[in-house]
A = this chain, B = another copy of it.
């Protein structure tokens, strides 16, 4: 049998790297703004999209369990960082969007996070960064992790 090297094993490396990178970022949103990871994901998704979206949508595109998103939404509503309005078309669902307060937080937080990301990737050349991102994209697509250009993941919502 080919000798197995855990430290060359990509799934393991991805896990370890993701954990480490998350820890580096959490200084920004956790310590400074008191957001946990699910809460940050809700903020990030809402801030990214101009129009409102449902909890279900956030759950799907961040690959976070719906109960986790539900709890994050509750917490953010209490802190008045997001707003929730009934959906006319479907009264099971709610439309979520950032409040003014939430938008301010978002605008403050984003540059900090982008800066951290740049830091982390600064060990790569511009070309390497590009190739790395492209490789991530290929793997994501092959695992069906991404939406199509119509903003919908095939068959998912």
Contact = CB atoms under 8 A, between A and B. Distances in A.
Q: Is the interface of A mostly helix, strand, loop or mixed?
A: helix
What is the copy number of this chain in the assembly? 2
Given A8-B133, A18-B17, A123 B111 contact: no
Interface residues of A, number: 58
Interface stretch (A19-27, A70-78, A83-91): A19-27
B124 A135 contact: yes
Contacts of A113: 4, 9, 11
A18 B15 contact: yes
Nearest to A122: B142
Interface string A130-142: 0111011011111
Interface of A: 1-2, 4-22, 24-25, 41, 44-45, 47-48, 61-63, 107, 110-111, 113-114, 116-117, 120-124, 128, 131-133, 135-136, 138-143, 145-147
